Structure 1
């Protein structure tokens, strides 16, 4: 059997990089899509990953043509992936009263939602014909309830969860799996900018290991770590009046350009 292939977006840092290393250690070839390709190549060299076991594709998931082209290039160079992980995402605070922040929201949706669908797009027909494959969407526990100052990110991740649920129903008759993983707080450059407490903070390598197991098991949806899954369920059950009181005074997500 040929060596399996995984395609991962947002592979230049954080969760994407940790997932890439976990799949490499499991014997997969890597197709890594990122804007900062030089950083990915430097990281791969530092990890001792041989050049014949990975390829880096320059792509901006917020640009539909860019990420679609990367997907087609991947299939031409390395073949059809066994697993596609749409991991790339951004998280920036917003204030609806500020005109510039509407652009932040548009950019967030372009990256976290349209970019996710565009990541999957090149591979769907080929996976359907092959009658196998796994499409993985990275959501967030922030998509379960809205957090003050976090409207763009929370809305985008709620959309990821719903979109992947829709896609799962569409792909099921063809043997193509759709897996949704919603991380809690993972120690990455993205979360280190947060100015509020992050319960059950998890190291990226630990997250990648659990995500790998979840994907291998073909689970449809999972929150990692499980403790945050329990917290999310409890928050979902809270009446609005209690939820609003709980979040009163909570520090807002830092807006673009806002100082520490």
Structure 2
């Protein structure tokens, strides 16, 4: 049974994918869990399947795209479970975009509200208290899609590049306070978000493997970590390619389905 003094992790997007995989790994390590999801019933079913005792976890219904909603969830966590040791903003949207389509401009707005504003709002309730305590870790989940713009991924690549830049700014702001900021850049992880991708996904890894490596990176306080490392080298290579070469290589790549065509 998890001790009431066990460390606490706060995770958004906990009903599926990377968020749920991280919750599983932290539970296995004996941490207490504060889980955020819109689909609370799915989290409750997952916790029951894991055999978690009720004292080990709590779930907070919130939509990270709604600032008041996610801020309230953070405040409720502090009131009910205490100040987390680690906060992981893993909730996100990954949908294709076509700028020629009017509906996709609204998609861009919605995606940024979740992937960027929602990430900052996730951190907001905890930052001042962590600084006052003198320790804590804030984790932003970006993507290797942040490193270069991918065709059909204009909204997603832009949002994840913004996650990297935002977390870097916050990391510098927190220097000397005891609060660490970790930026994770997953490559291709087998989740519902990647299941519909109509293109090859090199170094595709199970979500559980990602969670194991991510937990180690968070514990080490890594400021920036690409997982798996092989995708880090691929991304570095793409970054140094001249634009004309990059454009030619990527122009024939399959496009991620748009929201209207994704069902």
Q: Normalising by structure 2, what TM-score?
A: 0.98
**1:42-97 deviations in whole A, cap 9, x for unaligned?**
00000111111000000000000000000000000000000000000001111111
Counterpart position of 2:117: 114
1:218 pairs with 203, 214, 221, which one?
221
> Does 2:201 align with 1:198?
yes
> How many correspondences in the alignment?
260
How far did residue 248 of structure 1 move?
1.8
Given candidates 135, 138, 155, the residue that maps to 1:132 is 135
Match for residue 14 of structure 1 among 13, 17, 22: 17
| Alignment map for 1:86-235 (pairs within 5 Å) | 86-235=89-238
CA distance in structure 2 between the aligned counterparts of 1:2 and 1:127, rounded to whole angstroms: 17
The separation in 2 between residues aligned to 1:25 and 1:253, in whole angstroms, is 34
Structure 1, unmatched stretches of 5+, are: none
Give the Å deviation of 1:16: 0.3
Are 1:84 and 2:49 matched, yes or no?
no
> Which whole-Å CA distance do the structure 1 matches of 2:18 and 2:194 have between them?
11
Superposition deviation, residue 257 in structure 1: 2.5
CA distance in 1, matches of 2:260, 2:197: 14
Q: Which runs of 4+ in 1 moved over 6 A?
A: none
Give the alignment's TM-score, normalised by structure 1: 0.99
Deviation at 1:259, TM superposition (A): 5.4
CA RMSD, 1 decimal: 1.0
